[in-house]
Structure formats: structure tokens, C-alpha cells
Structure 1
């Protein structure tokens, strides 16, 4: 049954629900070949060209579809199942990348483990992995024979984002006088987020076990530590609002000099970013490239104290330590998850990781496409 109203159509759905669709929305959503390219799923016209007071001339309902004739004679047909799906989309919003769930313990990572071959061949596993990535900020993809980093990157996002280091960078040991980053050393790395000297740092990062000796890593160091900065920032906001306020309002300077490329990168930003409502939108912090040179005298001590308090909250209760195996890939939110490295000995351990970055837009686009394919 359908009922015509001045601005909308009411239709009974197979589920028993009564759905309402505005006339202008129905005309905008016409499925015919004249109105849209069905293959590309793109419209040939601008919604602004439809009169907002449009109504149907006639409506005919069958068991399978609703047929409408418009005042200009154009005919539109909407399958009942299609209308029901549109109603479901409006009433049940699918998970989106910003629906973040803070860690309550490192055990959360155990639920975010997937085999690399499962990611490649199982659409449901891929969608679940991406949903967990957006929710908890991290997924661990265990290496399996025959699955390399390029294949995984293609499956997850299609392509990676370029940075100063190119599409990829391989974290292998280099002499101090032959490197442009202390990441290419055996020294420990403090907990950090990557590329803070970009105005918009990369959204997501991956690390891949390109050439690692798993037994040696477990015995002699070189584990990578990951911690949920969002959970730490929320705790700081609850326990010490003044310190939280300092880190959301006092800019610091991030600076990286790369003489070989003839570039000096610089960005000034707060360590904790918030939106106008106070919601935490991102964390930017890399101690190796951070300077307080432009901080006013009266703000210096409060900043050091607040920063120390915040980093102290990145404890074991929100940390996961990963011992690398060949082919492992860990993908994590670079605006949220801090990572660091234990010191290791280059003479006793093989440890080369490949790293790179993904755009949230590309990861989310892949998730939506595959989710629709299996729905």
C-alpha cells in the first residue's frame, strides 16, 4: 500500500514498517538509464535542477515495485526491495572511521589479529579488519608464506600515500653520518606519531616484517611497542583538566631538516587536537623532532609538566609489544596510536621493517565497497 501526501510518499515495506520518501528525493533517485549511468552509479544531472515542490502525477504499486509518472511525463520505477534497503540505510548508520573505541587493556589487540591470506581471500575478514582498525586504531596481520607487502597494500587500500621517504621506507641500520633519520639505527625510539612536521600528517601507517629473525628479536630486543594515545588523552582530560587544556592550546614546533633533498619541513601545532566541541580529533607528537623554542616564558613550565604527565599515561595498561615475524604487517592510526622501539644489537639481530602510509579515505572506500559486495 502507498499513500500520497503533499511532500512525500508513504509505502508499506515487506518488514511491516511504513517508510516515507520525499517526492523530490524520489525524482532525484530515479534509476532509469536516462537519469544515471548504471555501471558507474553516477547521475547525469544536478539535484538542484529538480523543483523542491515537485509531486507525482500518478503512482502505481505492484508487489515488486513502485511506478511513478512525473508532471513532465518522465517515468520512474523503484523496486520494493531497493526502497527497503534505502530505509535501512537511513535508520541504521554503518560504522564509520571516526567511531573510535579507547583501549581498556592491551588485550584488545588479541581480537584484532588476522592471517594475511585470510585478508586476501575472505571479504568478510577484510571488512572486519578495517572496522576493527577504525574502532581500535590497530590491526595485526600475521605473515603467511607467499603474501608480500605490495599484495597486502593493494588489498587494503589499492595504493599507499607518498611522503618525503617515497611510497615505502625500509627501516634498516645505517651509520649515523649516512642517515637522515634516527629511525634507521639500533637505538631505542621514544613513543611517537609519524611526520608531525606535515600540516596534515599521514592518517594511517603500516609496518611490515620484511627481513626479520623472529627468535633473535624475541631474545635480544627490537620489539615494537604500540600504545593508545586516545585512551591516555581521555584519561588526562578526566584526571587533570588543566594539563589537558595546556596540551590542546599551546603550539609546539616540529622541524625536520633533509639537506640531501634541500628541504626543511616545519609545522606548529598542539600535541592534542580538538574540535570546537572539545572532542579529541588527533594526536601529533614526535619527541625527536619537537622543539619548544617559540613557547612563551610563562607557558614553558606548564607545557613541560603537562607533556610529561601525558606521556607518563602511555603505560603498559594501554600498550602492546610486538615481536616481529617475517611477513607480519601492523596497520595503525597515526593520529592516535603511538609507537616506539626497543634498542637492539645490529650484530646479533636481523630486523628490517618496511613502512608506509595509507589515507583514511582509501581504506574507508575499500571497506564500503567490499561490505556492499558481501551484503
Structure 2
């Protein structure tokens, strides 16, 4: 099974140090606490695409993820619900806070009026494009099913961009770690189950905003799609999706353990990088160099981090009369995908992965097909 390259963690170690892992987070005797949130439940059926019940699908997948994690040493799993009950949206995040969780993972299924399909994973953030607001609105509208919602949510309007933007502040501290967790889960599902990649995105979800730890929301697929809906609803689909989510969480735990150990020393050494490379399987493409293209401009810029929103390892090449700016360089496709996600969250929303062979740019899809594993 392919695994996500651990080196991406080293890009985040400095941020992790700055965010300050607390003493109790560094305590190796403390179990790694995972809170799993099955969306909807009880009187809230979730979406009913193709006649399926989202609430039942996500509960089954969530419980399967939990059972897989509980087999691992030093992991404690807490559920926001284990049966078909309704849990207020504003109570789900605080459950994770109460048990001092290390991560919070909310599991849902998507829907759309078209035959849209694919997997997407969300972190808490402002949707600058507006394209992700509809998904956030649908998940937030469960508020209206709660008793005394007007008092509980103090005038919050799930359909108002202004209200939604206000939710993002509490999760900013954990954004980089949330991106890492989301990227690991997303890439596992895409690479191992060959699902359509709708990428890691940011949007203002109420269920994520009040949790004081890295938090993500996984949309397993579109129940409204005539092909994907039956797959997500099937016994096989649920088992496969649960397995990849669990593997993503376990990979994240391993990465964070490395980052926590390294944070005892604020200097990241070459030995630590070599150790990270050696301890994780790669998804290598021989003779290929993957890069993230950030921008193209007629202006020649110094590639120092301050000119590129803090991104390091930016390279400049002149091609077709323009200066093109690339972030990262690796033959590991999993690593470059995570670096693309990191660049997007830094503000390069339209960046994309490019491939080079023998110094010449090649069609990415053709490169991936030519060395398909």
C-alpha cells in the first residue's frame, strides 16, 4: 500500500514549534486521542441522494474507522455518536475539547443538483473563491433542527458569508497541522481507491470552528451521483473508505510524533531529514521531477521566502519569455501533492503540479500513466 511521504512534515515543524506543543501533548504516556464525528443523525438524515441515508452511511464508516484505530497501541477513540441520535452541532467540537483530543475528524457525504462526483476534504478557513460556501451552508443548516437554535447560535445565519467568515478565527492556530491531516487522508483515498480528486479545501464549517486541535471534515463522495452514490453506500465502499481514513490518521500520528521529537531541538538537521526519508515508503517516479508552479510573470523576482508568502525552496526559470516560479522539487508524487496543498493554503489557490523529464516539461497525466503502479 502506498504511504504519504513523511518529509512534508518537516516543512511544518517550524510552524508546529511556533504553535507550541504543550507539555502534556509531548507526554509519551498520554494516548493519542482521536475524536470521530459521524455527521447528522436522528431527526437529521443528512442528504438523501439516490434514496440513501447519509446519516447511516457516515455512522457505519465512522465506527469502522474507530475499530481499526482501536487495534493500534496508545490510541484512544472517542465518538460524538455511536447510534442513530441527533447531536447538536455546537456540542460536537466541545466533546473533543473535553477529552483533550489530538485530532477531530468529521465524516460526511456530499450532494449536488448535477452529477458531480469525487472526494474532498476540508479544513476550517475562509473560502476566497465562494465555490465551497454551498457545501459549508448545507452542513451548517442542521442548526435549524436544534431546539432554541436562535438563542444558542446568537443570530448566526448559516447562509451568510459574513457569519461564516467569523467562524475561522479559532482554528487558525492549527491550520498547518489540519492541512497535513487532510492531505494524508485525501491522498490515501485518491491514490489507493482511484477516486476523483476534488482536493483539500477550506470552508467555514461550524462543526470545526470550536475544536482546539487539528480538525478536518471528510466528504466521502456524492450520494447524488448515479455511480458514486451506490459505491459509497455499498459494504465494499464503506469498508475501503474507512480503511483509508484510518491509515491517513495513523500516518499523521507518526508524522506528528516525529515533529514533536524534533521540536526539542529548534534546528532541523540533515540527519533528521535523512531519518524521515528512511522510515517511510515513497511513491517515486524514476527520472521525473515534480514541482508546484506558483506563478508566471514578466517580472524577475528574487526567490527569497518573503517574496513568496514565506515559502522556501522556490526556484525561478525563464520559459517562453516569462519567468515561472516553482516550489519544491521531488520525484515523490505524494510529497508534491501535499506541498501543493500547503502552497494553496498560503494563498496560491491556482497553483498546480508540473512534471519534468530530462529538464523538459511533460504532460502530467501522461507521466503518471506511463509509470502507473
Q: TM-score with structure 1 length normalisation?
A: 0.26
Larger radius of gyration: 1
* Structure with the largest fraction of helix: 2
Give TM-score, length-normalised by structure 2: 0.26
